[in-house]
Structure formats: C-alpha cells, structure tokens
C-alpha cells in the first residue's frame, strides 16, 4: 500500500493515479479531506482519501492507521505535501516562513519517523520525499522554500544511512517547476515546466527501482553536478543564465489566490 500526503490535487493526485495504474492501492491524505476523497473516488476501489494535517503528529499517525486498516501494511510513504511563498526575502512575514518550515520540513520529518517505525518492524518499506530542484539550486525569490527543501535533502541523506540494512529505502525526488497551484505565476526560466504526471511517473519508477537522487527531468542532475565543479565566478554566471529569478520574473497577481488560501501573507 502506498500513502501519499498532499494527495487532493496536483502532484499528489497524479502520484495516486499512477501507482493505482501500476497495480498498487493508495491512500491519499490532505488537509482538504473532501478533496482527497474526491480524488480517490476517481481511482476506484483501490484508492481512498483521508483528512491529514502534516503539521500535527496525531493527525499523521491517524492517517497512517486509517490507511493500513483499509489496505493493509504501509509499503511506501510519499511525503509530497508542501507550500511556497514567493517574494523578496526581507518582505516575507515571519509567520509565513515558519509555516513553510512546518509543512515542508517538519511535515516530512513527522512522516519519516512514523513510517520508519512501522516499516522497520517488517524489515521492508520505502519513504519517497518529493522535494524540489530547489534542494540543490536556489532561485532568488524562493529563499525560505529553498531552505526547507535543502533541509529535506540533508535530513534524508542522514536518515538513509541510519536505515541502511533495515530494509527501508529512502528516495528524494527533485523536479523543476511543475504546473500546479503551488507554482502559479512563477517562471521556469530557460527550461520547460513539467506536468504533475511527469513527477508521478518519476516517483512510481523510483518505487519500482529504488534510487536516492531522482531529478526530474534527469538532465537537471548533470547540471547540478556541473555547477558543483565550477569555480565560484563561473558557477554564479551559469546559475544566473539558467535559473529563473523569481523576484523579477514571477507574475505575483497570478499567485494571490494560492498564497491567500494556502500560505497566508
């Protein structure tokens, strides 16, 4: 059984559809419980939707309990839930910054701890953390979001080593800009934006053939490695050429609805 956080829409809903298509059962959890139930209803009897607040440990534990009661032992947890505020770092409200860390980082940490405890007992399992290419590349205008995703990557590296030999795998999926509500109005720079189905396929592939670093699309991994090898001046020039500046390039009017509803200002 696969459990997916942030499963009511966007990437989470697409992951649910993809893993069901490949034969798995899926539990979709979301703060929007009705949205999660509606997304699951479209997928048939091997899917179910539940309410989930990833910022609350009791809620997360109850979600996993309900998912296992419905479909059996948890094989895979996909930590997908996330939020993003875009703008100048010194204009970001403190409450908004803290909320991003609670959802994007601590939500993942809660999930990993709860899932690993269940998986270790059975000697098998897989935690897939949907982070972002922002885990490795930091676009201006997304400072706190990038910091939260850098932290997810670092935490995942450490936990992977702690779980080595336990039968529990860890993967970090790092897509570029995806056309979802979260990315509304942002720029993909010189690259192309992705569809949720692109990320869903990468997640499902990683579940079937586990690997740690999963860049979407794959050439982003080569770009990240190239940046790491360059001297600072060349690295900065290449990043400025290829990575969008979200302070300059974002359509902030297009983000108002999402940020008012999901993040706050």
Q: How far apart are CA 152 and CA 19, in angstroms?
A: 23
Q: How far apart are CA 227 and CA 136, in angstroms?
A: 10
Question: Which strand ranges, in their side-by-side order, compose the sheet holding 76-79?
Answer: 47-51, 26-30, 2-5, 76-79, 125-130, 168-175, 213-216
Q: Nearest CA to 263 among 92, 34, 60? A: 92
What is the bridge-based pairing of β-strands 47-51 and 168-175?
unpaired
Q: Does the annotation count 145 as an active-site position?
A: yes
Q: Which residue has the tokens 């899917």?
A: 47
For the beta carbon of residue 59, count every other beta carbon within 10 angstroms.
Answer: 16
Q: List the structure tokens of 124.
A: 């098998």
185 neighbors 252 (Cβ within 8 angstroms): yes
**Helix, strand, coil shares of the chain as percentages rounded to 5?**
55, 15, 30
Say which of 145, 153, 155, 258 is annotated catalytic: 145
What are the catalytic residues? 145
């Amino acid at each position: 059984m696969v459990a997916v956080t942030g499963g009511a829409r966007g990437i989470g809903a697409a992951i649910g559809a993809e893993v069901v298509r490949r034969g798995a059962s899926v539990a979709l959890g979301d703060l929007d419980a009705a949205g999660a139930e509606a997304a699951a209803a479209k997928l048939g009897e091997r899917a179910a939707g539940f309410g989930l607040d990833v910022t609350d440990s009791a809620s997360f534990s109850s979600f996993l309990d309900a998912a296992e009661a419905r479909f059996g032992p948890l094989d895979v947890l996909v930590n997908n839930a996330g939020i993003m505020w875009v703008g100048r770092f010194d204009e970001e409200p403190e409450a908004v910054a803290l909320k991003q860390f609670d959802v994007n980082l601590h939500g993942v940490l809660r999930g990993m701890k709860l899932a690993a405890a269940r998986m270790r007992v059975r000697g098998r399992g897989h935690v897939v953390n949907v982070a972002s290419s922002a885990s490795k590349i930091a676009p201006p205008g997304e400072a706190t979001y990038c910091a939260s995703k850098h932290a997810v990557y670092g935490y995942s590296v450490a936990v992977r080593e702690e779980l080595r030999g336990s039968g529990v795998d860890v993967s970090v999926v790092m897509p570029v800009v995806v056309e979802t509500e979260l990315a509304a109005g942002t720029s993909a720079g010189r690259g192309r934006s992705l569809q949720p189905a692109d990320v869903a396929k990468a997640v499902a592939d990683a579940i079937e053939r586990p690997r740690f670093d999963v860049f979407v699309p794959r050439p982003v991994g080569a770009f990240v490695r190239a940046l790491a090898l360059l001297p600072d001046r060349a690295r900065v020039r290449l990043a400025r050429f290829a990575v969008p500046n979200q302070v300059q390039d974002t359509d902030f009017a297009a983000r108002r609805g999402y940020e008012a509803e999901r993040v706050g200002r």
